[in-house]
Amino acid sequence: MSIRKVVKYGEKSLREPSKEVHKVSQKIKNLVQDLLDTMYKENGVGLAAPQIGENLRIFVIDVSTDKEPLNPRVFINPKIIKKSGACISHEGCLSFPEAFTDVRRYANVMIKALDTNGRSFILEAKDGSLLARAIQHEFDHLDGILFIDHSINRFEADEELKNKNLPPIQVEKLLDEPELAEAVNKLKEEELKKN
């Protein structure tokens, strides 16, 4: 198919909620292929449709390493049906070139979605794995939520954005996640005790 331009942070479409896909048509299959081609070209782990300017509830992920064969996963109309635990994730995003910051994530997620044949499936990712974190990251894009909205330290995140010539954090978009914040604080305390 084709390599698409990745929408950068600051463009309005990244903040818009995406629409459900009503039919897994050839047009949707072509869009999925564009997402995969673009993700691989940009060396990404995941890519959501809004990141290429298509506000549809679709994202792709491939967490395979250099030593493994490609293992693309497609999620159409995904819904996170279960989440638990907490982890700290050092994340970046193709829409934020070279910017990284620590964010709060759930350690375990269960997601239900459709594949490119329109068949429903359920996938579970555990223990703060890259897959678990990537699912949450890409899922957020479909609701106009960005990884920086989960920042553990918004001032560090702002400094990182400034250093990469990106717009500052939108304070009103920061997520209030008391349950997750508490769990992450416990994790940090346990780490300190170990050291």
Contacts of 45 (CB under 8 A, 6+ apart): 39, 61, 62, 63, 130, 134
47: helix, coil or strand?
Answer: strand
Q: How far is CA 165 from CA 27, 86, 155, 174, 187, in A?
A: 35, 31, 15, 20, 32
H/E element holding 187? helix 178-194
- Annotated active-site residue 138? The verdict is yes
Of these residues, 16, 42, 68, 138, which one is catalytic? 138
Six-digit token string for 53:
């300017």
Catalytic positions are 138
